[in-house]
Amino acid sequence: MANRNLLDSEVSYLRGIDSPTIANALERLSLRDRSDGYIGGSVLCAFPELGPMVGTALTVTVDNAVGRPARQDGYWELWEALEAASGPTVIVMKDASATPSRVAYAGEIMVTLASRLGAIGMVTDGALRDVAEVRARGFHYFMRYAVVSHANFELSKVGDPVHLDGQVVHTGDILHGDANGIVIVPWEGLSDLRGAVDAVRTTERRDLDFIDSPEFTLDGYRAMRGYGR
C-alpha cells in the first residue's frame, strides 16, 4: 500500500486515458511481467458510458451465509475503513460463496452510503444489483452478474489481499478501469507514465496511419516494425 494519496491532477490525467493505453504504457516501463497487473475478463464493466474509473482499492471478502445468521461486524468495518480512506476509493469484493450467481453483494442503499463515504465504484467477481439506480448516480460497477436478491450476504476480511480472475488486488492499489477491463497502475510507475503514454500514442498513430495509407504493404509494415525475415 502506498504511503500517499492520489493527487487530483493524477486522477484527472488518468481519467483522460483509456485502460488499454494505460496497460500498453506500463509494459514500456518493465515494472512487472506482461501477464500480470490486470483483472481477467470475467469481471465486466456494467456502465461503459461513465468513462474510466480511477481510484485506490479497498478490499473485502464477501459471502452468502446459507442456513445461518449473517455476521454483521464486517459490514461496519468496511464503512469505517472507507470513511478513513482518502481520495476516490474503489471497493473490491472477492466472492467466497462458491455460488456467485446466487447473491448480490450491493445495491442502491449500499452504493449511496459508499458514495457518501468517498467511493466511486465497486468491483467484484460476484454479483451486484439495482443497476438502473446505480447507473443514474454515476457510480461504477464492474461485476460478473446482476442478481435480483441480496440473499444473506456478509462481509469479512476487510483490507486483506483478494484474488479476482487471476489477479491479486491489495488495498491501496491504483485501479484504472473502463469498458475493456481493469488494470492496476503501480505507484512507482506514476512519475514515468505520462511519457510512456505519449510514446504509445505516437507509435500507434504511426502504425494506423501507415496501415490505412495507399502505400501500405505487409512487407513495408514488417520493415517499419523492425521485423526481419
Supply the CATH number for residue 117's domain.
3.50.30.40
Note whether residue 1 is domain-resident.
no
118 phi and psi angles, rounded to 5 deg: 110, 5
Mean pLDDT of 55-81: 94
120 and 207 housed in the same domain: no
- CB atoms inside a 10 Å sphere around CB 39: 23
Beta bridge partners of 162: 169
For residue 40, CA distances in Å to 29, 55, 193, 222 come to 21, 18, 22, 31
| Number of compact structural domains in the chain | 2
Note whether residue 160 is domain-resident.
yes
99 and 146 housed in the same domain: yes
90 and 198 housed in the same domain: no
144 and 81 housed in the same domain: yes
118 and 200 housed in the same domain: no
Q: What angle do CA 71, 42, 104 make, to 5 degrees?
A: 30
Is 1 or 198 the better-scoring residue by pLDDT? 198
129 and 199 housed in the same domain: no
Is 225 or 193 the better-scoring residue by pLDDT? 193
Say what the pLDDT of residue 4 is: 81
- Of the candidates 150, 176, 139, the one whose C-alpha atom is nearest the C-alpha of residue 57 is 176
* pTM assigned to the model: 0.94
Note whether residue 151 is domain-resident.
yes
Residue 121 pLDDT class (50, 70, 90 cuts): very high
Residue 87 pLDDT class (50, 70, 90 cuts): confident
214 and 110 housed in the same domain: no
Tell me which residue range forms the domain holding 208.
193-224
162 and 65 housed in the same domain: yes
Note whether residue 85 is domain-resident.
yes
